[in-house]
Amino acid sequence: MPRFVYLNGQYVDHSNAFIHAEDRGFLFGDAVYEVIACIHGHLADEVGHLDRLKRSLNELKMEMPVERETLRFLMRELLRKNKQKNAAIYIQISRGSAKRDFKFPDVDTPQTLLMISSDFDYDGNVGVVKGIRVKTVPDIRWKRRDIKTVLLLPQSMAKQSAVDDGLDDVFMLDKDGFITEASASNAWIVNKEGTLITRPVTHDILKGITRTAIEKLCRDENIKIEERAFKPEEAYEAIEAFTTSATALVTPVVEINGHKIADGKRGKITQKIYEEYRAYVDGLRGKQVSWESGL
């Protein structure tokens, strides 16, 4: 079956989707992206992801290359052409291609808009049930982690180093030893009182769309959340830990730096939040929340 990629106004065959050699995303990492889950045909938190995309572009003085409604249509058309009901949709927008120069090119330079939809088995995601094992590494990223840019080399190196150690992921540490987030997801712990703890939203982390939705679900379910930074030592004592993202959804963290979290299995609170989140995505919990930048 042919597989399509959307690139600059066309649905092209996956094996023929090429970006120009002087694309600024390629040369400078001058591009932003989003990943949106399509689960059983429902686009999870589409509004939030498109809000954040606009904000990321805005922070880098770029425009949306097409109207929001057009983008929504193009995404659905891509899924339809690829006959996908369960997929991760990747959207990347770069400042376009221009002669290599550190200053931005003319504002009328056409931007590059790329969309890739990849099959994703959300129901068969083993990590969500069995949990993942992580280690801590220094967070060596730039200081605007709130912007979802394609500058992902630090996260890629960190993740590879975890894999080289037979682990699944990392928790990154700021210069004071507090956990910022995982390589591509937000980090949470649950203390003995059953309160969730997660780092507040600043320029230090990406404000996850999944994180925002879960905050709202927890308010509805009377689960307390404390927004503050925490250190690995506190996480070792937690009764549960998990990460959240568009693809990981709600994934238990069962080991940190060799310390088992509780009994090393998915905890009840993590499971409940996962189930509530899935019900929310499936539209069983009313309207999905919008994402405001608030930064």
Is residue 245 involved in binding ligand PDD (CB under 6 A)?
yes
Which residue(s) pair with 11 in the sheet?
A: 6
Which residue(s) pair with 113 in the sheet?
A: 93
Is residue 111 involved in binding ligand PDD (CB under 6 A)?
no
Is residue 132 involved in binding ligand PDD (CB under 6 A)?
no
CB of 248 to ligand PDD, least distance (A): 7
Q: Which is nearer to ligand PDD, 97 or 242 (CB)?
A: 242
Is residue 208 involved in binding ligand PDD (CB under 6 A)?
yes
Number of Cβ within 10 Å of residue 98's Cβ equals 18
Which region, judged by CB under 6 A, interacts with ligand PDD, from 24-32, 73-81, 161-169, 239-247? 239-247
Q: Which is nearer to ligand PDD, 84 or 245 (CB)?
A: 245
In sign, the C-alpha dihedral spanning 263, 213, 196, 53 is positive
Query: What kind and span of H or E run contains 135?
Result: strand 132-138
Is residue 97 involved in binding ligand PDD (CB under 6 A)?
no
Which residues, 6+ apart, have CB-to-CB distance to 7 below 8 Å?
A: 17, 19, 112, 113, 114, 115
CA 191 to chain centre: 24
Tell me the number of residues near ligand PDD by CB under 6 A.
Answer: 14
CA 57 to chain centre: 16
Q: Which is nearer to ligand PDD, 112 or 244 (CB)?
A: 244
Q: Which is nearer to ligand PDD, 190 or 250 (CB)?
A: 250
Is residue 116 involved in binding ligand PDD (CB under 6 A)?
no
Is residue 209 involved in binding ligand PDD (CB under 6 A)?
yes
CB 174 within 8 A of CB 140: no
Which region, judged by CB under 6 A, interacts with ligand PDD, from 110-118, 180-188, 196-204, 264-272? 180-188
Closest to 277 measured CA to CA, from 255, 256, 257, 251: 251
- Rounded CA-CA distance 40/156 in Å is 29
Tokens of 223: 């689960």
Closest to 39 measured CA to CA, from 74, 89, 2, 5: 89
CB of 102 to ligand PDD, least distance (A): 25
Is residue 181 involved in binding ligand PDD (CB under 6 A)?
yes
Is residue 211 involved in binding ligand PDD (CB under 6 A)?
yes
Amino acid at 170: V
- Rounded CA-CA distance 238/250 in Å is 16
CB of 127 to ligand PDD, least distance (A): 13
- Rounded CA-CA distance 121/247 in Å is 10
CB 271 within 8 A of CB 122: no
Which region, judged by CB under 6 A, interacts with ligand PDD, from 12-20, 93-101, 223-231, 241-249? 241-249
Which region, judged by CB under 6 A, interacts with ligand PDD, from 5-13, 195-203, 219-227, 245-253? 245-253
Q: Which is nearer to ligand PDD, 98 or 201 (CB)?
A: 201
Which region, judged by CB under 6 A, interacts with ligand PDD, from 101-109, 123-131, 183-191, 222-230? 183-191
Q: Which is nearer to ligand PDD, 32 or 256 (CB)?
A: 32
Question: Where in the sequence numbering do the catalytic residues fall?
Answer: 148
- In the complex, the residues that contact ligand PDD under the rule CB under 6 A are 35, 181, 184-186, 206, 208-211, 244-247
